[in-house]
Structure 1
Amino acid sequence: MRTIRVAFRDFWAGFEPDHFFQRHPEVLRHWRYELSDRPDLVIYSSFPGGEKLMTQHAIDDDAVRLYYTAENVAPDLSRCDFAIGFDRDLTDPRFLRLPNYVGTQSQIGFMPDALVGRADRDLEAAMALKQGACIFVQGNHVPWREAFVKKLSEAMRVDCAGPVLNNTGFTISRKDKYGLYRRYKFAITFENERSRGYVTEKINDALLTDVVPIYAGDPTVAEDFDPGCFLNLDSFPDEDALIEEILRLNEDDEAYAQMLRAPAYAQDRMSPWVDPERQLEFFDRVMGAAARGQRWSWMGSRPDGAPVGDSLQLALGPRVHLEPDEFHVSSDPLDQPDVVADEVALVPLAEGSIDRLRVPGLVLQWSPDEAVAALSRWREKIAPGGRLELAVGDWDVCRKLADWAPREAFSTLFAHGSRRAPRWGWTADELNAALAGAGFEHRDVRPFGRHLRARAAGRPGCLVDPPTAVDLVIAWPRFDQRELVPTLAAFAACSTEGLRLALRYDPALDGPLEACVDRLELALRSIRTAAAIDLVVLSDPIDDLCPFDLGARTAAVMAGPETHSDRMRFLTALGHAVVGPDELSERLDGRVNRRAG
């Protein structure tokens, strides 16, 4: 087993690292740990400086960060790499919903399936222990909870054995609570707060000790526990109706016993939240990421929590795999990609809240019908004047590329690289049709390198930003005298102040840069021009250039009659008619200032 260096930060008073692994023994099934000042993994909680925060904070450790909360705090995955909490609606693969009762059940020695098969246990023995009617043990003051305890106390005896409302003359520790609970029929298990998904150990403790819980808190608690095994305030018209039912059950032993026989979980099957295999799968992802040093990209805010502005770049996945950033989405349940991400990252965002949704490297594994549905959901998040920007592997190009460079082709189409062929490929027409089907009325899809680069919006003027300057004449000649000389001569004859010639350069096609520069100098000497040529060599990888932004700055695009198809693909994607050297002057009419050679 691999040993992971671990550090704990910002936990509650009295916390010891062993407490975490007692709560979650699944971590140690495949991994060992050692505490370290130079950790691979930092596990942190909500108590920086000993004070409880009700919002998640960020930490500065240069390690994989797992945020862990037993409080009603919504995890913010832009501030950590993984998170554990109560949230019922967050389905990001980096988040594990692990209610507090799961960990405490393990910590006090109960097996995960302890509440399965309740109907088969010896109820006579359980009933024989009952001496009191109702128990209440709490250490936190919650006014609405205390008001109910006082109201119920007017109708029946409620023994309060905790610090709050104590009437027993003694207080018990949480560890001793389980033995005391068995002597009572009911336990008041109201949560500290009413919040969706926030279910703590209170109701679970009562069920484990053969007590009927009287519950209030999570309005969706029935998704965790079967409604037949507890009394839920939300199921009654008011508190008086709930108290009336408590009094009835207290007098009717058979009806009370029927509640004790009721399954704790739906269909008497172990709750998925308690399932140790689910926890094991999550912790293996966390520890595996720590072993590889795979940090996750920030999304929506910087590490310090400051917003990134009105442009949301959807870039999820281990940072070491994202060059450029990739967003992998798949409808294949067997798909386990290198780059894991999910469109659910957009779920919490309000409709119309994004001015620009940028997905710079989308490895799209949806079927066409699924893509339309997903892109429609994305469109709802985009503001009326906003747009979607994305890049998808071009099926036509990659299919040809696969004959001689399969790894490069498959890595463009599929996050697994060359390990498995893609299920779907996209052509320009198919992507345009999917965007149209999703409700984007205005679209521009351009083949560019190995990708299809697309922009889509609801308004015609939103596809391209107004250029700050239109100052480029772009060409991509072969770096030999036969193509360089006419290209440079045509620009020299038309050049004017503020206009620049930009030559695309690709070492894979053009050879060493030093040799190309030597040929450029030779060509410039041969045309004997007095024009000052401002030469810009576009040498970045082709997929890192944006044809929309580059095209918006372009005054003209120039190519010779024998320009290779790969070069023409780059030039035509800029959105301008491609002209020959002898047509450049006419194309630049109104901007040229002819010079004598």
Structure 2
Amino acid sequence: MKTIRCNFVDLWENPLEIGWIAPLLSEYDLVIDEKNPDYLFYSCFGNKHLQYNNCIKIFLCGENILPDFNLCDYALSLSTIDYADRTFRIRIPNFYEYEQLKRHLDADTLLNRRFCNFVYRNSNADPIRVRFFQELSKYKKVDSASSLMNNMEGPVSLPTNDDLMDFQRQYKFTIAMENSSFPGYITEKILHPFLAMSLPIYWGAPNISSDYNPNSFVNIMDYSSVEEAIEEVIRLDNDDAAYLEKMNTPFWNGDSFESFQQSETERLLAFYRHIFEQPKENAFRRTSDGWMGVYTRDMQEKNIEPTFARLIKKNYKSCVRMVCKKVILFRLKIKK
């Protein structure tokens, strides 16, 4: 097993638990080297990555942020950008962590559930999220379990993905809306209700049907208005046969979920092999020549604290004495 000397910065959780990193452990021995890694994995939640220059930099991001290929050599992201051998499109975030798809609810159970749920905290999203919730609530109560538009006597505790899916499994429908509409920006918000066997009502990426079977969910963007999309939800709620047909339509591409999951995992590992199996000196893609060097240095300088601020942190008392001394000398000079 080949050893990869690497480091992880600016990420959102324990790196070895991230779905796009965990499969690496089956083929590589990851050794953490915080000072001189050969490979640096980083995301958009900080700027520590700017302190690293002499390593292969790999950007990981599940947000609606485009990779900056001036700063990274390779990128795994939701973006549909295709840039030579430097990009990997994450089609279904976090699906690697699910060992198998559990589709075990019978027809009676599927039909005799609560109506619809809405689980969101973020109010800094496209207004359609709240508007759709409010309009659909005019038909039947939509249970809002988190802090945004909560109507369940306080937020329900859903600390893990499994807890969330257990909650969604109690409902016929789940409102599955991204924070914004952005090509490729397809997150776990639609995957979780699929796995929970709750029919997603989706809004977000305009290319959603390229990743998921369009017959397996309600796509709000297929309709001319919010009201028209709600009419379709109401139709499905009252037409058992039509609802069950959608519920029984596989959302993935391929013969089985397991084979689809295996092919996606192999696609991910092939991208990593391309990076790690070539000599390190050949794996660099970014450059510091010409104006690119100016751009990189400018980005680094903007994230370096002023010398005086660093001195204060290092030796507060000495800095205070130095400032006081200068003030006293200045006043004496004025008196003279």
Alignment of structure 1 residues 254-333 onto 2, 5 Å: 254-266=241-253, 268=255, 275-289=264-278, 294-298=283-287, 302=292, 305=295
**For the residues of structure 2 that align with 1:84 and 1:58, how far apart are their CA atoms?**
18
| Compared CA separation, residues 303 and 90, structure 1 to 2 (3 A) | farther
Distance 1:251 1:31, change over 3 A: same
* Contact kept in structure 1, 2:236 and 2:242, CA below 8 Å: yes
Following superposition, the deviation at residue 78 of structure 1 comes to 2.6
1:452 corresponds in structure 2 to: none
- Secondary structure, counterpart of 2:295 in structure 1: coil
Q: Distance in 2 between matches of 1:153 and 1:91?
A: 44
The equivalent of 2:24 in structure 1 is 27
In 1, Cα distance between the equivalents of 2:279 and 2:194? 37
**In the alignment, which residue of structure 2 is the partner of 1:532?**
none
Tell whether the 8 Å contact from 1:10 to 1:45 is kept in structure 2 after alignment.
Answer: yes
Matches within 5 A, 1:109-508: 109-111=98-100, 114=101, 123-124=106-107, 126-127=109-110, 130-141=112-123, 142=125, 143-169=127-153, 170-175=155-160, 176-266=163-253, 268=255, 275-289=264-278, 294-298=283-287, 302=292, 305=295
- 1:126/1:41 CA distance change after superposition, 3 Å: farther
Output the amino acid matched with 1:146.
V
Secondary structure of 1:3's aligned partner: strand
Alpha-carbon shift at residue 92 of structure 1 (Å): 2.4
SS in 1 for 2:292: coil
Aligned-partner SS, 1:198: coil
Q: Is the contact between residue 66 and residue 80 of structure 1 (CA under 8 Å) also seen in structure 2?
A: yes
1:210–1:231 distance in 2 versus 1, CA, 3 Å: same
Distance 2:232 2:290 in 1: 49
Contact 1:41 1:290 in 2 (8 A): no
Q: In the alignment, what sits opposite 1:4?
A: 4
Please report the TM-score for the alignment, with normalisation by the length of structure 1: 0.45
Shift in Å, 1:138: 1.1
Percent identical residues: 27
Aligned pairs, how many?
Answer: 288
Asked whether the equivalents of residues 44 and 66 of structure 1 are also in contact (C-alpha less than 8 Å), the reply is yes
| 1:289–1:295 Cα contact (<8 Å) kept | no
Task: String of CA shifts for 1:553-578, please: whole Å, max 9, x gaps.
Answer: xxxxxxxxxxxxxxxxxxxxxxxxxx
| Residues 78, 303 of structure 1: 8 Å contact kept | no
| Selected match of 2:57 from 48, 53, 65 | 65
Deviation at 1:255, TM superposition (A): 1.0
From the superposition, tell whether residues 289 and 173 of structure 1 become closer, same or farther in structure 2 (CA, over 3 Å). farther
Query: Aligned to 2:80, which of 74, 88, 94?
Result: 88
Report if the CA contact (8 A) 2:16-2:22 is conserved.
no
The one-letter code sitting in structure 2 at the alignment partner of 1:278 is R
2:72, 2:286 within 8 Å by CA — same for their partners in 1?
A: no
Residues 69 and 290 of structure 1, relative CA distance in 2, 3 Å threshold: farther
Q: CA deviation at 1:61?
A: 3.0
Instruction: Give the drift of 1:286.
Output: 2.6
Q: 1:306 to 1:23 in 2, by over 3 A?
A: closer
Q: Distance in 2 between matches of 1:147 and 1:244?
A: 15
The CA RMSD over aligned residues, in Å, is 2.8
Q: Give, in whole Å, the separation in 2 of the partners of 1:174 and 1:90.
A: 35
Give the C-alpha shift of residue 171 in structure 1: 2.2
Other-structure match for 1:17: 15
Amino acid corresponding to residue 86 of structure 1 in structure 2: L
Deviation of 1:291 after TM superposition, in Å, equals 5.5
In 2 relative to 1, CA 246–300 (structure 1 residues): closer, same or farther, beyond 3 Å?
farther
Task: Determine which structure has the larger helix proportion and give its number.
Answer: 2
Shift of 1:204: 0.8
The separation in 2 between residues aligned to 1:88 and 1:264, in whole angstroms, is 20
Partner in structure 1 of residue 71 of structure 2:
79
Do the aligned partners of 1:26 and 1:283 also contact (CA within 8 Å) in 2? no
For 1:240 and 1:290, locate their aligned partners in 2 and report how far apart those are by CA, in whole Å. Answer: 57
Counterpart contact for 1:40–1:290, Cα < 8 Å: no
Quote the offset at 1:79 in angstroms. Answer: 1.7
Q: 1:274 to 1:215 in 2, by over 3 A?
A: farther
Q: Secondary structure at the match of 2:270?
A: helix
Q: Retained in 2: the 8 A contact 1:161–1:171?
A: yes
- What do residues 444-484 of structure 1 show as CA deviations (whole Å, max 9, x unaligned)? xxxxxxxxxxxxxxxxxxxxxxxxxxxxxxxxxxxxxxxxx
Q: Which amino acid aligns with 1:2?
A: K
Are the counterparts in 2 of residues 58 and 80 from structure 1 also a CA contact under 8 Å?
no
Shift of 1:265: 2.7
Residues 306 and 201 (structure 1 numbering): CA distance in 2 closer, same or farther, change over 3 Å?
same
Distance 2:293 2:263 in 1: 32
Q: Give per-residue Cα distances to partners, 1:396-424, cap 9 Å, x unaligned.
A: xxxxxxxxxxxxxxxxxxxxxxxxxxxxx
Q: Which moved more, 1:143-152 or 1:224-233?
A: 143-152
- Give the Å deviation of 1:63: 0.8
Distance of aligned partners of 1:295 and 1:49 in 2 relative to their CA distance in 1, 3 Å threshold:
closer
Higher relative contact order (CA 8 A, sep 6+): 2
* Alpha-carbon contact 2:71-2:286 (below 8 Å) kept: no
Q: Tell me, which stretches of 5 or more residues in structure 1 are unaligned?
A: 51-56, 308-597
CA separation of 1:66 and 1:168: change in aligned 2, threshold 3 A: same
The one-character-per-residue Cα deviations of 1:12-42 (angstroms, maximum 9, x if unpaired) are 3xx223223x553321221011211221111
Q: After superposition, what is the alpha-carbon deviation per residue over 1:101-129, rounded to whole angstroms, capped at 9, x for unaligned?
A: 432x333x334xx38xx7xx65337527x
Gaps of 5+ in 2: 298-336
The secondary structure found in structure 1 opposite 2:93 is helix
Do 1:58 and 1:304's aligned partners in 2 also have CA atoms closer than 8 Å?
Answer: no
What is the CA–CA distance in structure 1 between the aligned matches of 2:229 and 2:290, rounded to whole Å? Answer: 45
Shift of 1:203: 0.6
Query: Which one has a bigger Cα radius of gyration?
Result: 1
